């Protein structure tokens, strides 16, 4: 489930951001990697929050 969520988060990020991720990372653009890391942390926080809400 977690891997699918990471893939879905990346696909949404790739759809919203017009930059070529592979070319940007190959050129040494580390800001793009930090943006992706932030998206993954946000997705994890949403999952934990929803589990706390459902779990009581």
pLDDT tens for residues 1-46?
778 887 888 888 888 888 887 888 889 888 888 888 888 898 889 8
The alpha helices in the chain, defined as continuous H runs, are 2-16, 21-26, 30-55
Tally of structural domains, the chain: 1
What's the token pair of residue 46?
Answer: 């949403």
Its domain, for residue 6, covers: 2-55
Question: Looking at residue 10, what is its pLDDT?
Answer: 82
Question: Looking at residue 4, what is its pLDDT?
Answer: 86
Q: What is the pTM of this model?
A: 0.65
- Residue pair 32/24 in contact by the 8 Å Cβ criterion: yes
Question: Looking at residue 56, what is its pLDDT?
Answer: 63
Question: Looking at residue 11, what is its pLDDT?
Answer: 87
Question: Looking at residue 6, what is its pLDDT?
Answer: 79
């Amino acid at each position: 489930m977690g891997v699918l969520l990471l893939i879905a988060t990346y696909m949404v990020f790739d759809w919203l951001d017009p930059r070529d991720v592979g070319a940007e990372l190959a050129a040494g653009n580390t800001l793009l990697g930090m943006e992706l890391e932030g998206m993954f942390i946000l997705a994890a926080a949403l999952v934990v929050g929803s589990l706390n809400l459902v779990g009581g």
